[in-house]
Amino acid sequence: MAPFWQNAIHWLDEGRRGVVGVMNIDAAIKILSKSGLKCEKTKFRKDLSVFVCKAYITEHLEEIKNFVAEGGGLLIGGHAWYWAQTHSGQNPLTEFSGNKILNQMGLSLLGATIGGGTYKALVPTQAIKDSYHFRHLLYRFAAHVTAGEKLSKHEEGCLKKLGNDCNAYLQMKAHDCSHYRQVLATLTDLLKRSGLPQVSDSCPVKSPKDHLLLAVGTQVYKVCPDPDALLPYLIKDNPMMPVVYNHRIKVDVDTADKEEWISTGLYLSPGMKTYIAIPPQIVKKNWKIQIGCQTDSLHKNDVLKRPPSVHERFPVTSEMIQVWNLWGGLIYLVAPPKTQVKGLEVTAQMAVPAPYYKTGVTTAAEWSSLRTAPSPWAELEFENIILTVPSDAVRGLERPDKVAALWDEIMRAIADLAAKPHKFPRKERFVADVQISHGFMHAGYPIMVQKNSAANLVDVKKGKGMWGPIHEMGHNQQRGCWEFPPHTTECTCNLWSVYVHEEVLGIKREKAHGAMTAAKRQSRAKDYVAGGRKLESWSMWVALETYMQLQERFGWDAFKKVFTAYHHMKDIPKDKKRKMNLYAETFSQTVGMDLTGFFKAWGWPIETATEGKLSQLPSWNDHPMTQYD
């Protein structure tokens, strides 16, 4: 690439043969010094001919813009994806430092990434119908929606990209730019003429056209000059709900190393605006206000049962903040990591009350009226877990304290197996949604489940199984030091499913899941041996059998002691082979028996050195895999 950079620097210098200033990039100085131009390692100076810097520069931004406007050359590069990931809730197009320079020049670095591959440069003479051109396709799409003009197959295939690009473009909020105002006016007019598809569980959106309208509707509403006038075109059914005024929320927070959502028990209707009064102690301290609990993005889904993005975040930058969300949603404070505050009060000027129960705070009398509160979403907050479900799931719940008691027992069992304190550093969250980004459920914060699973979360009883939810909480307990992806990704999480079903819910493993019957377990082990004990086949249920055989011989306490040992380990290897040897060694030392023969029977890559370390221990010669030899 050296000739390219040298040509670029000469083009920027425009024959002046001036000084090229390079800001602390040694590799660039090395290459650019061969251009024949004088290169210096320096911060920005006005007397330079060309300035070379990274897009992460945070100083001299205004001077650099003026420098280019007056004829200076600028070579700037970098990406914004890491910044976007580490500055949640902030807009990379307007807040990322590189874009503060580049936006003025009609360029922007997006927070997104693209897949690796070969991308052909467009040929200027190529017919526009065979290529992708943002403005041209936008106007073709507008004509398609408003005048019924037919799109080509190529144009239809580009509509998802167009929707993503419209959203990115609108985030620039460049209202002082005529091009921006023109694009925004086009999209606003298009939405007023066509309306927004009224998507729902029973009325899913499948066409690329409706997908695009749903994708851009949220962003247009956020940035258009008169969102209130646009609202009736976007939300057709928006009934008025009773509200509470000047509602106070007490804030006691002690976060660990991750952000935490603080429930308020309040809801905003679609398009409803309210002011939130914030105590000065947490202003400009990385706190946020979030409207909406469903944070899964569905932009990649072809069929939509709800809009692709339905939550909003507002940085807490002043003592009075106006918040809203086109799609409405429960109101949360988002506390940053490693934050401690006590006895603060946040006041919501106006909001819809939600059915919200909190252990130790909500009385039985309060709950009897709160469970009929008008919000469509409800929350039950217990000792270590918060359940966010459709309000219909709690309307008939008379004794949330009984639900709390069983969930508390479940969560303590999860902590016990993980060899951790009973109080979680951050309460787990379950959120139900009409559609989630992937799978039937998925782990994370929050754990996402389908709407029709909500009743099972609330109607917990001993003797009643709930493999899926515990499986997802098991995922949240997995740790890279004793995990061997991809083999154990969908396996070790099930240790918690088996443990909770047997120890808390009173359901034996063979009854807890259809795959756990004795016949199926034996068949899997037998087939695995017959297939040559190949590690690539050792995954999910097959891999779980390894752990089940260990548990049935050495008990759950052995796992608890192994996990405890890992809590205190340092310098854990990163590669799978050494990690598997470490696990075999740790489990053997824990139970006082050489298990290398057992692990080798399962196809684990046990090294001679590991066998040597454990040779003084008695061997487990009668392990279950000997029956298949």
Specify the number of domains making up the chain.
3
Would 388 be classed as within a structural domain?
Answer: no
Domain shared by 68 and 171, yes or no? no
Would 258 be classed as within a structural domain?
Answer: no
Query: What are 468's two structure tokens?
Result: 């899926």
Give the chain's residues under pLDDT 70: 125-129
Domain shared by 104 and 134, yes or no? no
Contact 377, 391 (CB under 8 A): yes
Three-state SS letters, 27-59: HHHHHHHHHCCEEEECCCCCCCCEEEEECCCCC
Would 151 be classed as within a structural domain?
Answer: yes
Domain shared by 150 and 219, yes or no? yes
pLDDT of residue 129: 60
Last residue of a domain, one of 110, 139, 172: 110
- The residue among 267, 423, 268 whose CA lies nearest residue 355 is 267
pLDDT of residue 300: 87
Domain shared by 133 and 206, yes or no? yes
Last residue of a domain, one of 53, 84, 110: 110
Q: Which strand (E) or helix (H) includes residue 432?
A: strand 428-433
CATH number of the domain to which 560 belongs: 1.10.390.30
Half-sphere exposure of 162 (CA within 13 A, CB side): 27
Domain shared by 580 and 514, yes or no? yes
- Provide the 3-class DSSP secondary structure of residue 321: strand
Domain shared by 41 and 171, yes or no? no
pLDDT tens-place string over residues 352-402? 999 999 999 999 999 999 999 999 999 999 999 999 999 999 999 999 999
Q: Please name the residue that has the structure tokens 């796992």.
A: 559
Phi-psi category of residue 360: left, alpha or beta, with phi > 0 → left and psi -120 to 50 → alpha: left
Would 285 be classed as within a structural domain?
Answer: no
Q: Which strand (E) or helix (H) includes residue 277?
A: strand 274-277
Q: Is the peptide bond before 208 cis (omega within 30 degrees of 0)?
A: no
Query: What are 218's two structure tokens?
Result: 């949220």
Would 579 be classed as within a structural domain?
Answer: yes
- The residue among 262, 192, 260 whose CA lies nearest residue 230 is 192
Domain shared by 100 and 196, yes or no? no
Paired with 314 in beta bridges are 289
Residues 6+ apart with CB under 8 A from 14: 49, 71, 73
Domain shared by 483 and 601, yes or no? yes
Domain shared by 19 and 85, yes or no? yes
Would 453 be classed as within a structural domain?
Answer: no
Domain shared by 202 and 134, yes or no? yes
pLDDT of residue 127: 58
Would 355 be classed as within a structural domain?
Answer: no
Domain that holds residue 171: 128-234
Domain shared by 92 and 195, yes or no? no
pTM: predicted TM-score of the whole model, two decimal places:
0.88
Q: Is the peptide bond before 280 cis (omega within 30 degrees of 0)?
A: no
Would 225 be classed as within a structural domain?
Answer: yes
- The conformation of residue 152, written as its DSSP 8-state character, comes to P
pLDDT of residue 413: 97
pLDDT tens-place string over residues 577-612? 999 999 999 999 999 999 999 999 999 999 999 999
Question: Which value, to the nearest 10 degrees, does the dihedral of the CA atoms of residues 50, 53, 59, 64 take?
Answer: 30
What are the CA-CA distances from residue 592 to residues 380, 391, 584, 618, 620 (Å)?
A: 44, 52, 12, 8, 10
Between CA 341 and CA 12 the distance in angstroms is 52
Domain shared by 482 and 558, yes or no? yes
Last residue of a domain, one of 54, 75, 110: 110
Residues 556, 561, 562, 566: is their CA dihedral positive or negative?
positive
